[in-house]
Chain A
Amino acid sequence: MTTSVVVKNATKRFTMSNQNTVRRLAINAIKGLPLSKSFTALDDISLTLEQGDSIGLLGLNGSGKSTLLKLISGVMTPDGGSVLTRGRIAGLIEVGAGLHPDLSGRENVYLNGAILGMSETEIDRKFDSIIAFSELEKFLDTEVRHYSSGMFMRLAFAVAVHTECDIFLIDEVLAVGDQPFRKKCMRRIRELKQEGRTMVYVSHSPAQVLSLCERGLVLEAGRMVFQGTAEEAVKAIGYTVDDESDDD
């Protein structure tokens, strides 16, 4: 087994300086008021994943799940502790961000693919598979601005699930699209997992966490309150498993 992700005592603080005009700064300095407020989004989190592990991150809104995911993806750097990863990272995180409304579907596949780290030959090779997945064959040369929101997400998803990677991150994205498409996404994610990718999955849905992940981690106000199997984690946070699974 090779280690895939090592998070060691990671801490992330956000500084909120609402007084960023020189005048406000001067007034606050004279009055002895704090110049900025800081808030600890993640406090001393440690986590080790082996290649092929899958872990669900559970927690209420604002508990730090997405911040932890951003540390692993490298978009943010920790203020304390360290984060180390092995191999290529990809994922379903705000998948629509790389699409440009003024470009056609075809151009967006290439642009978004390149943004997610694919090379030209890689995109060429996967182009047909991406389009088939998105079911947008007829709208390939239409500008994306004319797409419905469902079509938009389908295109973005199709590109994202085709990136070659060792670590795959998923952030609450499976609530979009109609049920057949959601099922298809879950199938694809399960395939990615079976191929041996490390998975980090942020979700509020206990059913999906249970069906996709072996392990679970519960965050509460930036602190890790539980780490163990997925079943125990769902119990620890007190969620009830209802019938919302998108499994076949």
Chain B
Amino acid sequence: MTTDVAQPETVAPLVNPGSSGGLLEVYRRRYLLKLLVQKELRVRYQGSPVGLLWSYIKPAVRFIMYFWVIGLLLKNNLPDRALHIFSGMIFVSFFTDAMTSGSKSIVKNKSLVRKINLPREMFPVASVMVTVYHLLPMYLILLGGCFLSGWHPDLLAGVAAVMGLAIVLLFGLGLALLLSAWNVYFRDVGNIVDVIQTVITWTVPMIYPFNLVMQKLAHAHTAIYEIYLSSPLCIGVLLNNRAFWTPASATPKATAHQNLPANLFERGAIMIVLGVLFLWFAQVTFARLEGRFAEKL
């Protein structure tokens, strides 16, 4: 049997065993993170004959509903309507999945959280990473649709794609951290997530185009218009529209002008800064709340 007491050259300092490095500690123990993500991917649909496909069937049905019902009933003749819906939907799906699975992540792993001292941020981060994993095939489908529709991306399209993704990742991870911690104290969080889900589905230009929002709100109700544009997910979706949808239209400039707000990139940059601050706030709050996880669970 191996007989190695961990004995570093210099004697380790006396430290508080309960303190944790937070997200940095998660990065340091990324091997565990990798195993947790793999486990989650393996067991999420255990015992379900359709298995992993559920992660694609659900968004596919949602897409078909938006496309046909709204298209037929509202006689919406936006160019490349499928791309418009899909470029928004992948972010809305990502965001709702990250919130739903992230908020449950600590409570679901309570046997570990209660007994073993490991960075608890590990669990919401792992569940967000599982969601990111499901996002990748969505991008492939989106790109396929883009090429079929004659997509001519410019440099700004690439910038918009990266910025949009950064915004939803920062806010998605931040929310997952916050909600997972609150869920330990108040089990109402599941219902709050449902409410947010309904709100974000209707407050981003996905089912309807942004030009409707500009027509009705931009001049008549400036305050509401600005509130609408203050949603991180809305800016993310608009950036994704700019990346994948408008460059596929026959007249990219005109489509962008009619369907995107002025200063979209400036708004995006501000949102990224806010996202970093939000993630920091979420981490600080999480660290404050995790002290009592073991006894509250």
Binding site for B on A (CB under 8 A): 2-3, 6, 14, 20, 70-77, 82-89, 93-94, 97-98, 100, 102-103, 107, 110-111, 114-117, 119-120, 125-126, 129, 133, 162, 164-166, 188, 191, 195-197
Contact = CB atoms under 8 A, between A and B. Distances in A.
Contacts of B295: 14, 76
A82 to B, nearest CB: 7
Nearest to B36: A111
A197 B46 CA distance: 41
B116 A84 contact: no
Interface in B134-157: none
Contacts of A72: 17
Residue of B4, B18, B186 with most partner-chain A CB within 10 A? B18
Residue of B6, B16, B39, B114 with most partner-chain A CB within 10 A? B6
A97 B2 contact: no
A191 B3 contact: yes
Given A77-B291, A114-B29, A86 B115 contact: no
B162 interface: no
Top 7 A-B pairs, shortest CB-CB distance: A74-B17, A114-B32, A74-B18, A74-B117, A77-B18, A84-B14, A94-B115
B17 A85 contact: yes
Interface string B109-122: 00110111110000
Interface residues of B, number: 36
A73 B39 contact: no
B289 interface: no
Contacts of A117: 29, 118
A166 B43 contact: no
Contacts of B36: 111
B74 interface: no
B116 A116 contact: yes
A191 B5 CA distance: 11
A125 B1 CA distance: 11
Nearest to A93: B115
Contacts of A195: 3, 5
A165 B111 CA distance: 22
B13 interface: yes
A28 to B, nearest CB: 17
B14 A86 contact: yes
Given A86-B15, A87-B12, A75 B6 contact: no
Interface in B256-295: 291, 294-295
B35 interface: yes
B116 A188 contact: no
